[in-house]
Structure 1
Amino acid sequence: MHSHTARVQDIDMRWQETGTGDPVILVHGIPTGPALWRHVAPLIEGRRVLAWEMVGYGSSIPEGRDRDISVAAQAGYLAAWMEAQGLSQAVVAGHDLGGGVAQILAVRHPEKVAGLFLTNAICHDSWPVPVVKAVAATGSLLKHAPDGSVRQFMKLMFSKGHDTEAARAAALEVHAPQYEAHDGAEAFVRQTQSLDNADTRAVAEALPRLGIPARIAWGVEDEFQTLDYGERLARDLAAPLRRIEGGRHFTPEDHPQIIAEEINALVREVDAAEAPETGRQRIG
């Protein structure tokens, strides 16, 4: 994937991109970035795949200083970025916080979302999870902790969220350097203190009325976003739910083949729904 930057709303917004065709937008969560999708993106068939970086996360951590980086605000930033890139409509996929961003975007800007894919995503009142609440509540302590504390904290999150030790170690090496290169503990505290489930509760009642193609995939053993919330989203969106047996939270890294299969299936469903009698219309 190739990295790109564009100035949008006086913010340097970043994304990684591969492929050509109609757009599929991938949105990560905490404490990750676009690289969360590094194994999924190459498996998405015949599409322009754009892994968008939330403002104040990943290499965009500096852009989060003195800005609203709540989940609801991220949906607004994503909409503005889509407009700036000439993306009138896309299939949108989200994991963790990115799933909340995708839900809010679909409700507030339904014309922009052709299809919705969610995997182990926040929704309703499922978040913030206890470990994140603890960081938000004791942020001053973490800010003044010794160097390396954020890496240790991320190691704890990944140990609970990944299926294997190898996956945990790989995720730590991919995502921790973004914090270490910028504010470190201060950035992580800033992110956690921006989180409020009022953002997803505000759009929850509108989800059943979206009426767009949607699919859900869920790691059954997720301790952060439990399966009952995946089942609830499946009911809300009238969407099929693919249960990933033994899967934990970070499904795009642990089960990229399954995640890509579900996104590809959603794309085909979107194509079929939008195809007029004389041929398919592009959604980009």
Structure 2
Amino acid sequence: METQSTTLSGMNARWVEHGTGSPVVLVHGIPTSPRLWRHVMPLVHGRTLAWEMPGYGSSIPDGKDRDLGLSAQAGYFLEWIESLDLKQPPVLVGHDLGGGVAQIAVVRAAERFSGLVLTNSVCYDSWPIPSVKAMQRVAPALAFLPQVLMYPTFVQLIHRGHDDRDVALESLAEHWGPYVSHGAARSMMRQVAALDVQDTLDISDRLAGLKLPARVVWGEADTFQKIGYGERLAADLGADLIRIPGGKHFTPEDHPRDIADAINSLLTGAGKD
């Protein structure tokens, strides 16, 4: 996998790329980065490009003094897509907050994409989850907490979202590092302070009008984004709902084959019915 970057509107845009062929763009959520997709990308039968949201991962410094809300992120994302000059519309894949960005992006510019895959995504009024709302309430104080006090919260969040303990431990090693490098408390404070459910509510009534091949993949045991929201998304998008029994929130890490299979089914044209 190769890390790429460019400058757009005075801000660095970073992504991780792998493979060749038909394009697939992937968007992560909180508290992750493009590394969320590390096990999915090699299984996809195409050129995968995992975008890093400003304010997350190695792009945490680029989020300082920027709007990190999902509506703004969708704008940054669409500008990045335009800069790639892809020869064909990509399949768009989103998880968690990245799924919210994906929904906003397809509502704004459905013609730029050939398909949509959402997995355990924020949507409608499903978010922020209670633990994030609690962090939002104490955001000003959160910025001054020592790193050692932030880590247990991070560990709990990761473990609650995984059904595979070994993968959860791997995930901790992957995703905590950028927070350590850039100041865990302040970085997370900026991220959670920007979250506003209105961003998905504003576009929710337009999802049913999209004429885009779609798949919805959901861990049935997710306590962050419950399966009922996956059912609602699938119904609105006219999409197949692919259930992962026992699966929790971080499906791209615990169940990469299920995600890749859904993507590949769109790449081969099976979703264009």
Q: What range is the shorter-chain TM-score in?
A: over 0.9
Q: For 1:162-213, what per-residue CA distance to the aligned partner results, in whole angstroms no more than 9, with x for missing partners?
A: 0122121111100000111013110101100100111111111111111110
TM-score between the two structures when normalised by the length of structure 1: 0.93
CA RMSD of aligned residues (A): 1.3
Percent identity of equivalent pairs? 48
Equivalent runs, 1:57-72 vs 2, <5 Å: 57-72=56-71
Q: Secondary structure at the match of 1:126?
A: coil
Q: How many residues align?
A: 272
C-alpha distance in structure 1 between counterparts of 2:22 and 2:34, whole Å: 19
Could you say which residue in structure 2 is the equivalent of 1:28? 28
Could you say which residue in structure 1 is the equivalent of 2:211? 211
Q: Is the 8 A contact 1:151 1:172 kept in 2?
A: no
Q: Is the 8 A contact 2:89 2:113 kept in 1?
A: yes
Q: Is the 8 A contact 2:3 2:15 kept in 1?
A: yes
Equivalent runs, 1:41-190 vs 2, <5 Å: 41-45=41-45, 47-87=46-86, 89-190=89-190
Q: For 1:73-110, what per-residue CA distance to the aligned partner results, in whole angstroms no more than 9, with x for missing partners?
A: 11100100011111362110000000000000000011
C-alpha distance in structure 2 between counterparts of 1:147 and 1:124, whole Å: 33
Gaps of 5+ in 2: none
* Structure 2 CA distance for partners of 1:268 and 1:130, relative to 1, 3 Å: same
Q: Is the 8 A contact 1:126 1:229 kept in 2?
A: yes
Q: Is the 8 A contact 2:214 2:271 kept in 1?
A: no
Could you say which residue in structure 2 is the equivalent of 1:277? none
TM-score between the two structures when normalised by the length of structure 2: 0.97
Q: Secondary structure at the match of 1:25?
A: strand
Q: Secondary structure at the match of 1:125?
A: coil
Q: For 1:210-260, what per-residue CA distance to the aligned partner results, in whole angstroms no more than 9, with x for missing partners?
A: 111000000000000000000000000000001100000000000001111
What code does the residue aligned with 1:235 have?
A
Q: Is the 8 A contact 1:142 1:149 kept in 2?
A: no
C-alpha distance in structure 2 between counterparts of 1:22 and 1:103, whole Å: 21
After TM superposition, give the deviation of residue 31 of structure 1 in Å.
0.1
* Structure 2 CA distance for partners of 1:21 and 1:170, relative to 1, 3 Å: same
Q: Secondary structure at the match of 2:118?
A: strand
Q: Is the 8 A contact 2:98 2:121 kept in 1?
A: yes
Gaps of 5+ in 1: 274-284
Q: Secondary structure at the match of 2:247?
A: coil
C-alpha distance in structure 1 between counterparts of 2:200 and 2:129, whole Å: 14
After TM superposition, give the deviation of residue 269 of structure 1 in Å.
2.5
Q: Secondary structure at the match of 2:201?
A: helix
Q: Secondary structure at the match of 1:181?
A: helix
Could you say which residue in structure 2 is the equivalent of 1:278? none
Could you say which residue in structure 2 is the equivalent of 1:10? 10
C-alpha distance in structure 1 between counterparts of 2:198 and 2:143, whole Å: 26
Q: Is the 8 A contact 1:120 1:225 kept in 2?
A: yes
Instruction: Confirm whether residue 254 of structure 1 aligns to residue 232 of structure 2.
Output: no
Q: Secondary structure at the match of 2:32?
A: coil
C-alpha distance in structure 1 between counterparts of 2:152 and 2:89, whole Å: 40
